[in-house]
Amino acid sequence: MHSRSFTLLGLLLILWQCPSTGAKFIESLDPSEKYDYVIVGSGAGGAPLAARLASYGHRVLLVEAGDDQTDTYQYRVPALNLQASEFVPMTWSFYVTHYNDAKRQRQDSKMTWLTPSGQHFVGRNPPRGSTPYGILYPRAGTFGGCTAHNSMITVLPDQSDWQAIVDMTGDDSWAPAKMKKYFTRLERNRYIPSSYHGHGYEGWLTTSVTSLKFVIQDFKFTHMVLGAAASVGQGIGKIITTVHGLAEVFLRDLNSGLPDRDRRDGLFQMPLAIRDGARSGPREFVMEVMGARQENGEPKHHLDILLNTFVTRILFDKDDQGEKSPRATGVEYASGQSIYRADPRASKDRDMPLRPDGIITAQREVIISAGAFNTPQLLKLSGIGPREELEKFGIPVVVDSPGVGTNMQDRYEATLVAKNPHRFKLTSRCTWMKSYPDPCLENWKTSTPISKRGGYTTSGLVLAMLKRSSVSVDATPDLFISGAPAAFTGYYPGYSYDAFKDPTYWTWIVLKAHTRNRAGTVLLRTSDPRDTPIISFNSFDTGTNENREADLDAEALVEGMMWARKAIRNVPKFPSPFWEVWPAHRARTAEEMKDWVKKEAWGHHASCTCPIGADDDPMAVLDSSFRVRGVDGLRVVDASIFPKIPGYFIVLPIYMVSEKAADVIHLSTYPVSN
């Protein structure tokens, strides 16, 4: 297949003590500026946190290693999310392993190598002398982080995900009902009437669903929905050639506020972070806060953003007497583009030393929001991590914290791809910006209303199915299955082009949620901050498997794949049938499929590498208030904070955590008794 909440008095006190002088993108630091909080990383954790803290009256500096690409079509156009992940100005390409055994790892058809000629080769049999890279794991080094290229899927986690943190830490502020309030605060829902309970309608993140008119316009797409509905006994006998009929096939709201929400299965329309046909994200919240003005026209808040600034180390004020914990005072940084070697444009010259350009000081706290890979890397480079690993690289130990860079978790995902000779009408004229003019892009730019702007107004993921496998826990659906008109088989260099070069393909994407594996690691490769870490997921039986966890996860994934196969077979054969092309003959039986998913499964929700935990847990890097244990003035707010990977798609849980962190931090400075 391959070729590749706070008091008014408290707020007034802040505004009096810290008069606002502006909010802006800055190119360099003003030595006279004093920031309360320095936040490293502008992704799903850092950007909302920065905006919310600034809106509370704090002086905030948000530091980002990349630049701002949010005016590009790759960012703005929902359908170009795959292209955005390989858009060189914003991409950070990590290469990871699922297995440490090289022989086993190379059985993955997505295995990537660097050939002697300096080219990427994808496959099992590279040219002689090629260097193994691993499996591509696209991340984003740009303003907005991975919210700049994600598929915009916006799905609430289960209540049990939050309750588990309460049970672990004894901190009731994580209770599900309290966490749900952060969702309603951040959401600006545009697909449910405002009288419906459980949603927000005035927040910063616009959520919508793809108009069913798009599906009706495409006969082939409609047939795919019918095949899926037939496979779950949903919609049989319904008339689906009208919008009303099609709506009856779907359950209404995947993010419902109903008590049984976490137990429902079946077909749903996909909630997406899309506003008027364009990507919605924390960027909009940041810009709203920066653009807010007082009655006299002066900026209302103080939020500065420093781009192209690569943080190399966290700085600490240490008590020589050892009577107080070290306190984070700021960060050391280097200025410039493409410094980090996950950036395809970065220099690989190892003879060129990295010279820091300066220091940024935080008056109150430093907050790291660099993501599941870079946050543990930065902590370790700063002396917080497993003692043995730090000493190996000559890094002075600030805190011996053995849990940093462990406990890494992800989903397991696999796809089933099918085709028939007829093109999908929605995408048949799209060039995906590989050639110009691109009729679909022109339609997106010029047409009104939105229902006439074409397929580029959606991510392509119109429908979702929740399904319980036979090995699910507590009757909670553990399979999230979505479909798209594409040929997507995972991540490798060039995948975003291959997925759409032929508009006759359909892909069912099977995601195993609530995975049991906690064995992934992020280890330092060198002490050079520019080098990417060694990222090993230790999948399936090479990871957590004391009680058949690996087999249970694999079995669930197989059931999802078999459902997808059934859905393809249930597609009406008029005008012509679909045939499966991936995995097809490579996995005919359930047993063969189990072996195949162990070779081919991947994920893209890496998390849990600096987990919150109980006070008596030596592996707990953070307390329940996001504070790094063993030091003062340092917190982490991003995907790495979870003790166990939440829900189905991780971006919304991170947004909710970011909003919570803002309140925790604000109230720790101005107690609620004020």
Angle at Cα 609 formed by Cα 607 and Cα 611, nearest 5°?
100
Task: Name the DSSP class of 581.
Answer: E
Q: Was 311 annotated as part of a binding site?
A: yes
574's CB contacts (< 8 A; 6+ apart) are none
In this structure, what are the phi and psi dihedrals at residue 104, rounded to the nearest 5 degrees? -70, -40
Q: Which amino acid type is present at position 223? A: H
Separation CA 134–CA 303 (nearest Å): 39
CA distance 418 to 422: 12
- Helices in 584-637 by DSSP H: which ranges? 590-600
Handedness of CA 165, 171, 175, 178 (dihedral sign): negative
d(CA 592, CA 597): 9
Helices marked H in 499-548 — which ranges?
none
CA-wise closest residue to 508 among 231, 154, 263: 231
> How many whole angstroms separate alpha carbon 507 and alpha carbon 499?
9
Q: d(Cα 56, Cα 591) in Å, to the nearest integer?
A: 56
Dihedral class, residue 237 (left if φ above 0, else alpha if ψ from -120 to 50, else beta): left
Q: Concatenated DSSP letters for 80-138?
A: GHHHHHT-TTTEEEEEEBS-S-HHHHTTSTT-EEE-TTS-EEESSSPPTTPEEEEEEEE
The CA distances from residue 132 to 103, 113, 442, 571, in Å, are 11, 4, 41, 40
Closest CA relative to residue 458, chosen from 426, 494, 422: 426
Please report the sign of the dihedral spanned by the C-alpha atoms of residue 26, residue 93, residue 133, residue 101.
positive
Number of neighbours of residue 214 by Cβ within 10 angstroms? 19
SS3 263: helix
- Enumerate residues 6+ apart whose C-beta is below 8 A from 616: none
Amino acid at 311: V
Residue stretches of the annotated binding site for FAD = 311
Please state the residue numbers annotated as binding site.
Answer: 311
